[in-house]
Amino acid sequence: MIRIALNAGLRASLLAAASIAVLAGPALAQTQPQEARVTQILKRTPLIDGHNDLPWALRQGFGNDPHGVDLNANLSGSTRLHTDIPRLRAGGVGGQFWSVYVPASMAPVEAAKATFEQIDTVKRIAAAYPETFEIATTADDLVRIHRAGRIASLIGMEGGYSIDDSLGLLREFYDSGARYMTLTHSKSTTWADSGTDAPKWNGLNAFGEEVVREMNRLGMMVDLSHVSEDTMVDAIRVSSAPVIFSHSSARAVTAHPRNVPDAVLRQMASNGGIVMVTFVPGFISEAVRASGAARAAEMTRLSALNPGDPAAVKAGMDAWNAANPAPKATMEDVIAHIQHVRDVAGIDHVGLGGDYDGVDSLPVGLEGVDGYPRLLAELMRRGWSEADIRKISGENLLRVMRAVERVAESKRAERPSLAKLPDDGAPE
């Protein structure tokens, strides 16, 4: 996860101009009536975003206090946050999976503690603004809360190391409200390979398969964002319920290992799962991805040339950055991924997972949670029907949630798994 590092005041002044530029000329005139249609659609169909890191942003910047900043105010000009209540309302958000993220660098027992604290933060956000948010744990909850005019608040865990190799802890997280778990984050766990770490298990090991089965029994969605391709394939093979990618994009469009390859996209139809396209610039723009890789390589080179001399490394990087300005992702990049997922997996298997407040930059035109109507209106301008917009906004995820709930109901008579990771199961 990348932390936010934008200058809020400058950002606020630039965003309006950038958004206008994206929709300038004939497209602006054509997209405005589409936005009105989208607004009407989202009154009936909840727009459900798969991943927002506001709880972690509150922890890092506001003392973990939902009252530490006034979420009833538009904070785009006064803070670095991408999320507040006015922008959520303007964005038509009806259901939000709040990520209870903790860094992969944490020891598992500390990660478990911090994850429970993040779950507590989500509940305190809902308690602080009860006229806006209500905790949801089922698809029916989500629909009911949206119809009542509030934003359904759901909990998604990011990183399987938080269970500390304990299915008992997994069950406690479920009982606390978590309704999906991303099997890994940036590092492999003791039972599953990450997409951005050296492989240890060639996917899932035997205990990892038991984790997936127990998630099926509980009714917790298996989230495959961040995992390796082998882990994706293993989890889809083992799971008796549809899987999700809460915030991932298409590898054929941007060659980042975090993205979903076509071979896996093609399995979504038979699995019934969903890929919720993310807005992270390095995952959606090949130019941004390549620029970031080159920047990291230069940092490595300068650090090797100047051991123990951080000032020289900084001076070298400042010069490199000045000579190699970073490109910007755009809404067009996001649309390319959405369209590719639709083309390969099918319209029933695409959704939205912005990763707001978990990144330090966002595509031009989608700089805050108020950007969803612009995106959906542009899709309509390109020929997407109202039925298509309902599916990508929320119907697809509601279908997945209900399927996961049905699988759990069918397993109600099964006893909780007592599987344990073998003593020799941990990587060196």
pLDDT in tens, 45-86: 999 999 999 999 999 999 999 999 999 999 999 999 999 999
Percent of the chain residues past pLDDT 70, beyond the cut: 92
The pLDDT of residue 4 is 37
Per-residue pLDDT at 206 exceeds 80: yes
Q: Which one from 146, 209, 214, 247 is the annotated catalytic residue?
A: 247
Residue pair 247/254 in contact by the 8 Å Cβ criterion:
no
Q: Which two tokens stand for residue 426?
A: 């941990």
Question: How would residue 97 be classed by pLDDT, with cut points 50, 70 and 90?
Answer: very high
Per-residue pLDDT at 120 exceeds 90: yes
Each residue's pLDDT tens digit, 274-292: 999 999 999 999 999 999 9
The pLDDT of residue 315 is 97
Mean pLDDT of all residues in 129-139 = 98
Q: Is 53 a catalytic residue?
A: yes
Amino acid in position 397: L
Q: Which one from 35, 84, 134, 158 is the annotated catalytic residue?
A: 158
Question: How would residue 166 be classed by pLDDT, with cut points 50, 70 and 90?
Answer: very high
Nearest C-alpha neighbor of 392 from the set 252, 404, 382, 365 = 382
Q: Give 32-35's long-range contacts (Cβ < 8 A, gap of 24+).
A: 32/377, 34/376, 34/377, 34/378, 34/380, 34/381, 35/373, 35/374, 35/377
The pLDDT of residue 280 is 97
Between CA 13 and CA 172 the distance in angstroms is: 45
Question: How would residue 11 be classed by pLDDT, with cut points 50, 70 and 90?
Answer: very low
The pLDDT of residue 423 is 74
* Residues 6 or more apart in contact with residue 13 via CB below 8 angstroms: none
Average pLDDT, the chain: 92
Give CA separation, 115 vs 221, 268, 333, in Å.
17, 29, 32
Question: How would residue 32 be classed by pLDDT, with cut points 50, 70 and 90?
Answer: confident
Mean pLDDT of all residues in 20-37 = 59
Between CA 271 and CA 228 the distance in angstroms is: 18
Q: Which one from 35, 146, 164, 185 is the annotated catalytic residue?
A: 185
Q: Is 247 a catalytic residue?
A: yes
Per-residue pLDDT at 1 exceeds 70: no
**Residue 298 Cα to chain centre, angstroms:** 29
Q: Is 355 a catalytic residue?
A: yes
Residue pair 219/174 in contact by the 8 Å Cβ criterion:
yes
Residue pair 256/228 in contact by the 8 Å Cβ criterion:
no
Q: Is 349 a catalytic residue?
A: no
Per-residue pLDDT at 3 exceeds 90: no
Mean pLDDT of all residues in 306-312 = 95
Each residue's pLDDT tens digit, 378-426: 999 999 999 999 999 999 999 999 999 999 999 999 999 999 998 754 4
Question: How would residue 12 be classed by pLDDT, with cut points 50, 70 and 90?
Answer: very low
Question: How would residue 31 be classed by pLDDT, with cut points 50, 70 and 90?
Answer: low
Q: Which one from 82, 146, 226, 349 is the annotated catalytic residue?
A: 226
The pLDDT of residue 231 is 98
Between CA 190 and CA 78 the distance in angstroms is: 42
Q: Which two tokens stand for residue 362?
A: 């966002």
Q: Is 256 a catalytic residue?
A: no
* Residues 6 or more apart in contact with residue 296 via CB below 8 angstroms: none
The pLDDT of residue 422 is 84
Amino acid in position 428: E
Q: Which one from 35, 49, 51, 165 is the annotated catalytic residue?
A: 51
Q: Is 185 a catalytic residue?
A: yes
Mean pLDDT of all residues in 311-319 = 96
